[in-house]
Amino acid sequence: MKKLNYSKSINNLKGPKGIPFIGNLLQINKEKLHQNLEQWAKKYGDFYKINFPGLKIVVVSNPYYVNEILNNRPNKFRRLSKMKKVLEEMGFYGTLSSEGEEWKKHRKVTQQALSHKNVENYFPLILKIGNRLEEFWANKFNGNKYLDNYEISQDFMNATIDITTNLAFGCDLNTVYKQKEITQQHISKVVPKLNERIVSPFPLWRYIKTASDRDFDKSMKTIKDIISLFIENNIDNLKRFPERKKQPTNFLEALLVSQDKENPFSWEEIYGNIFTMLLTGEDTTANSLAWFSYYMATNKSIQYKIRNEIHEVLGEEFDIKEIGDTKKFKYLTATIKEVLRLKPVAPILYLQSNEDVILKDTLFPKNTFFITLLRYGGIDEKYFSKPNQIIPERWMQKESKCPFEGKHKEDVILTFGAGPRYCPGKYLAEIEMIVFIIKLIKNYEIELSVPEFEISEKFDFTMTPENLKVKLTMIKSNNY
Ligand code: HEM
């Protein structure tokens, strides 16, 4: 057996002092968990320890060690086992919840569904939903010059749901117009509940159901019924159009086709994967777009530059037409990178060691619970100059020279994770963001309707801009 070389054990790690029995529980604000942990990282460094009742947690802030952990999956590390349990009892059997060989099987089909080639094939659909959003905003104005106190995040949720349902089971739910039917009422309950249960010290909901648990179960049943209907529909379509077995037209068809092959997916896995796609495809991209809107509203000069770029690239026709167009928006793309650096919607990940492991000079026993900080490196001045400022220029290459002179360590950015479980939806998310932002910025001037200090980061598994309300003012076509 290989001898492990280390000079410290987990007991040598420092960390904030807690209270007997309760540990650090009262020092943490659940909705600001990521910020609390980032703050402590400044004092305690690359690795530190926190305690909750019955639970010791190691926090990893150094982006290179976070990378090492993420890259050593699925063998040395895995997602927190409790997370798998909570996800699967909600019905999410799939890429996000699974581990080891099981995960490889799910990952393969998910990654294929979200490949660059497939996303490029989906482009007309993304554009269609982008046009729908544009039309929806135009109708909202109803002859007025501006819309004030507007909660734009919900529109992004609806538009991303429309894209994801199309991609997942080939059906356009038109949530942008019909709004509350599936998103607000049902899917939007999943993420907070997931977070609540993962961080809960005791699984009370398995023994006693509160009103909120019962309401959640009802929503889950509705979603399950909707998905079951689509499964039946897709089975029918595969019978009617057998040629689709060779070239499935959506994710569900691809999962169903795999039924004919060795090691098929169970019904629970098919349902769970569709559900996973809905969950991961909506909240993440929609909240990134909401954060983008926040930065536009608070940085007028960047907003103007993006609008100018849209005019320059699109010219007279003033509309995006094909996937190739998305590559032409250099400044917009740089701004998206900057927003994703400052506001990664998944600022932390919960992981666990599968065996005894050494990181730096410390031995961590099997089953250590790690919280990895995904944002910390990106906002650390060791790696980025003026780390808390939005400076799109830092991502722009001008004849091999960056127009922003300053520290820039791209490899510490972990917004989409790292290693084999890196987010498979990154390309789709980037293309969606470009299309929706163009639709927004080319038509409207965006400002905040509330004082900036009232908008804050709220963590409930994803990080959302709480209290974001904007004022949209219509721009006449030549008046920018
Ligand atoms: C801006 C948008 C997005 C962000 C910031 C984001 C971020 C992340 C992060 C941090 C992870 C964990 C990666 C890891 O463990 O190393 C992840 C995993 C995942 N994401 Fe995304 N994501 C986004 C959009 C999407 C979209 C649009 C989809 C699909 C439609 C998607 C599907 C998934 C799936 C299935 C996983 C699990 C992968 C696995 O465990 O193998 N994501 N994402």
CATH code for position 249: 1.10.630.10
> How far is 349 from 370, CA to CA, in rounded Å?
8
pLDDT of residue 179: 62
Q: What is each CA distance from 360 to 6, 66, 350, in whole angstroms?
A: 8, 11, 19
| pTM tops 0.75 | yes
Q: Is 417 in the pocket of ligand 1 (CB under 6 A)?
A: yes
- Of all protein residues, the one whose alpha carbon is nearest to atom 2 of ligand 1 is 285
Q: Is 276 in the pocket of ligand 1 (CB under 6 A)?
A: yes
pLDDT of residue 479: 47
Residue 180: which pLDDT band, with cuts at 50, 70 and 90? low
Residue range 56-74: mean pLDDT, rounded: 97
Query: Which amino acid appears at position 178 of this protein?
Result: K
Determine how β-strand 8-9 pairs with β-strand 362-364: parallel
Residue 402: which pLDDT band, with cuts at 50, 70 and 90? low
The answer to whether position 161 is within a domain reads yes
pLDDT of residue 321: 87
The Cβ of residue 109 has, within 10 Å, a number of other Cβ atoms equal to: 20
- Of all protein residues, the one whose alpha carbon is nearest to atom 24 of ligand 1 is 425
Tokens in use for 279? 């969950």
The answer to whether position 177 is within a domain reads yes
Residues 6+ apart with CB under 8 A from 384: 341, 378, 394, 406, 407, 408, 409
Residue 245: which pLDDT band, with cuts at 50, 70 and 90? confident
> How far is 129 from 113, CA to CA, in rounded Å?
19
Q: Is 97 in the pocket of ligand 1 (CB under 6 A)?
A: no
Q: Is 155 exposed, middle or buried (0-12, 13-18, 19+ CB in 10 A)?
A: buried
> How far is 402 from 334, CA to CA, in rounded Å?
12
> How far is 205 from 218, CA to CA, in rounded Å?
14
Cα Rg of the chain, angstroms:
23
Q: Edge to edge, what strands does the sheet with 470-474 contain?
A: 146-150, 470-474, 444-448
pLDDT of residue 403: 63
The answer to whether position 479 is within a domain reads no
**For a pocket test of ligand 1, which of 110, 111, 284, 293 has the largest count of ligand atoms closer than 8 A to its C-beta?**
284
Q: How many domains in the chain? A: 1
Query: What is the per-residue pLDDT across 194-228, written as a single tens digit (0 to 9) for each?
Result: 888 887 878 899 999 999 999 999 888 888 888 88
pLDDT over 90 at 107, yes or no: yes
Q: Edge to edge, what strands does the sheet with 362-364 contain?
A: 8-9, 362-364, 357-359
Q: What is each CA distance from 138 to 134, 141, 146, 443, 478, in whole angstroms?
A: 6, 6, 10, 9, 17
Q: Is 168 in the pocket of ligand 1 (CB under 6 A)?
A: no
The distance between the two most distant Cα atoms of the chain, rounded to a whole number of Å, is 75
pLDDT over 70 at 305, yes or no: yes
Q: Is 284 in the pocket of ligand 1 (CB under 6 A)?
A: yes
pLDDT over 50 at 480, yes or no: no
Residue 347: which pLDDT band, with cuts at 50, 70 and 90? very high
Determine how β-strand 77-79 pairs with β-strand 470-474: unpaired
Q: Is residue 423 marked as binding? A: yes
The answer to whether position 2 is within a domain reads no
* Ligand 1 atom closest to Cα of residue 276: 35
> How far is 399 from 424, CA to CA, in rounded Å?
31
pLDDT over 60 at 20, yes or no: yes
The answer to whether position 3 is within a domain reads no
Question: Which among 346, 305, 349, 324 has a CA at the least distance from the CA of 441?
Answer: 305
Tokens in use for 216? 């959640």
| Residue 419 near residue 275 (C-beta atoms within 8 A) | no
Q: How close is the Cα of 391 to the center of ligand 1, in Å?
A: 25
Domain that holds residue 195: 8-474
Q: Is 288 in the pocket of ligand 1 (CB under 6 A)?
A: yes
**How many CA within 13 A on the CB side of residue 138?**
11
Lowest mean pLDDT among 83-92, 132-141, 297-306, 348-357: 83-92
The answer to whether position 345 is within a domain reads yes
> How far is 3 from 373, CA to CA, in rounded Å?
29
Mean pLDDT of the chain: 90
The answer to whether position 170 is within a domain reads yes
Count of residues in the chain: 480
Q: How close is the Cα of 369 to the center of ligand 1, in Å?
A: 21
Q: Is 63 in the pocket of ligand 1 (CB under 6 A)?
A: no
pLDDT of residue 352: 97
| Residue 115 near residue 167 (C-beta atoms within 8 A) | no
Q: How close is the Cα of 95 to the center of ligand 1, in Å?
A: 10
Please state, for a pLDDT cut of 70, what percent of the chain lies above it.
95
The answer to whether position 183 is within a domain reads yes
Q: How close is the Cα of 287 to the center of ligand 1, in Å?
A: 13
User: DSSP letter string over 193-258?
Assistant: HHHHHHH-SS-GGGT---HHHHHHHHHHHHHHHHHHHHHHHHHHHHHH-GGGGTS-SSHHHHHHHG
Q: Is 251 in the pocket of ligand 1 (CB under 6 A)?
A: no
Query: Which amino acid appears at position 280 of this protein?
Result: T
Q: How close is the Cα of 379 to the center of ligand 1, in Å?
A: 21
Q: What is each CA distance from 230 to 52, 90, 277, 464, in whole angstroms?
A: 42, 19, 14, 30
Lowest mean pLDDT among 101-115, 293-307, 375-389: 101-115
| Residue 98 near residue 85 (C-beta atoms within 8 A) | no
pLDDT over 60 at 477, yes or no: no
> How far is 311 from 212, CA to CA, in rounded Å?
48
pLDDT of residue 279: 86
